[in-house]
A and B are shown apart, each in its own frame.
Chain A
Amino acid sequence: MLSPITVGLVIVFVVLVTFMPIVILSTRYRRVAPSKALAVWAANGTGRPLAMVSGGGIFVPPLTRRTATLDLRLRFLDMVVPKVQMDKDGQGQLVRVRVGMLYRISSENSTLENAFAHLVGKSDKEIEEIVGGAVENAVREGLAKTSLDKVEGDRDALALKVFIPALEAMKAFGLEIRCAAIAEMELQGR
């Protein structure tokens, strides 16, 4: 007949064998919301991720894999670009441009790879600075060869002229514009 100690050990062993896989699974199975993305690399690997998940789940084996997460939620940029140089009949004019834009880190696979390469570990403020830089350059370049009189009445056409180059620049960082508008264009004194 088994001794009480042996019975105790058997019970402990059975409990461990039953619950350890559950504990490992629950701690290593990563659930990823549709507004987040998770990339998995080999523990010592760099470059392209082995897997990327957005809106789903993945089991990440312990020790042999490393992961990083990005927040794909919607973000809003309300930005004023001062002293934008425009051309009026060969004479320069300075304009203050205000832009309102909804953007986010893209969930599309190829763009998301760029995001994992450039944005992991960056704060919201740093991401906003990247977007702000891309939008400012696009505004300055888009408006340089036209005048306020010509474009003010058709902000839609102007928005395309400005936001398509901005979108291309942002795509390189894994970001995308969801909707954008040029809210204000005001003449500024020199």
Chain B
Amino acid sequence: MTGSGLSTAGLVLVVVMLAIVPLVTVVIFKTRFKRVPLDKAMVVYGHYMPGSCRGYMVIVGGAKFITPISEEYAVLDLSPRTAELELRSATVRLNDGRGRASGKIRYSYRVRAEEAVLDTAAEHLTGLDPAEVSRMVEGYVEAAFKAFIASCPFPTSPDERRSFTDRFLVFNKSDLWNVGVGLDSMDIDGLRLVGGG
């Protein structure tokens, strides 16, 4: 091999490198730059984040380049969900003792987007399937509602029902915010007293 042969090989190598480096950079940037819609939260973790004393950050409505090797991400679904709770002969408190009530209660909830609650949601819900989150939240709301309706006077008029649901939403707020979820609304129109108390 002569000197000119080596320089040709070197030249080819340089040209290949010059072609590959920008291409790889573009591919990496395209695959690692993540945009987050407003109904999702992106939990980025892997090292202490700038301006934070924690090793993760949560982004809602924005975008971030996920640094290869040192960062990873997961997505939380913030979209509102509705659920129906069917009470069958649940114990209720009446003015003159105990009774039974049946009916359907509709409510809506979601993973909260407020900054402090969102961190709690990231710690409790990251990596969970949205259906699994729904199963747990709805299971707990059922238990909490049954406990509440057994302790508070049974609502009979529309005004009482409104005040009853407002109190339940406030009562449950601190509970569910402990896991990063909040109830938005509740409708208990279908609830009625039944025999068997």
Contact = CB atoms under 8 A, between A and B. Distances in A.
B72 A178 contact: no
Interface stretch (B27-35, B39-47, B155-163): B39-47
Interface stretch (A2-10, A113-121, A132-140): A2-10
Contacts of B176: 179
Given A53-B55, A100-B139, A178-B178, A29 B150 contact: no
Contacts of A33: 43, 45, 56, 72, 74, 126-127
A153 interface: yes
B128 interface: yes
B71 interface: yes
Contacts of B23: none
Contacts of A7: 6, 9
A29 B69 contact: yes
A70 B23 CA distance: 39
A73 B127 contact: yes
A74 B48 CA distance: 24
A120 to B, nearest CB: 18
Interface in B145-196: 146-148, 150-151, 175-176, 178-179
A57 B45 contact: yes
Contact of A56 (B46, B93, B98, B178): B46
B77 interface: no
Given A57-B47, A100-B139, A1 B123 contact: no
A2 to B, nearest CB: 7
Interface residues of B, number: 49
Contacts of A179: 140, 144, 175-176, 178-179
Interface string A175-190: 0001111111110000
Contacts of A104: 124
Interface string A44-73: 000000000111110000000000000111
Nearest to A159: B147
A154 interface: yes
B122 interface: yes
Nearest to A33: B126
A154 B150 CA distance: 8
B48 to A, nearest CB: 7
Interface string B1-26: 11100100100010000000000000
- Taking residues whose C-beta sits less than 8 angstroms from the other chain, chain A's interface range is 35 or more
A35 B125 contact: yes
B147 A181 contact: yes
Interface string B87-130: 00011010000100000000000000000000100111111100
Contacts of A181: 140, 143-144, 146-147
Contacts of B46: 29, 31-32, 56-57
Contacts of A2: 6
A99 interface: yes
Interface string A1-42: 111100100010000000000100110010111111000000
Interface of B: 1-3, 6, 9, 13, 43, 45-48, 54-56, 68-72, 74, 90-91, 93, 98, 119, 122-128, 133, 135-136, 139-140, 142-144, 146-148, 150-151, 175-176, 178-179
Given A32-B45, A34-B55, 8 more contacts: A2-B6, A55-B56, A55-B122, A72-B124, A74-B136, A102-B178, A153-B93, A181-B146
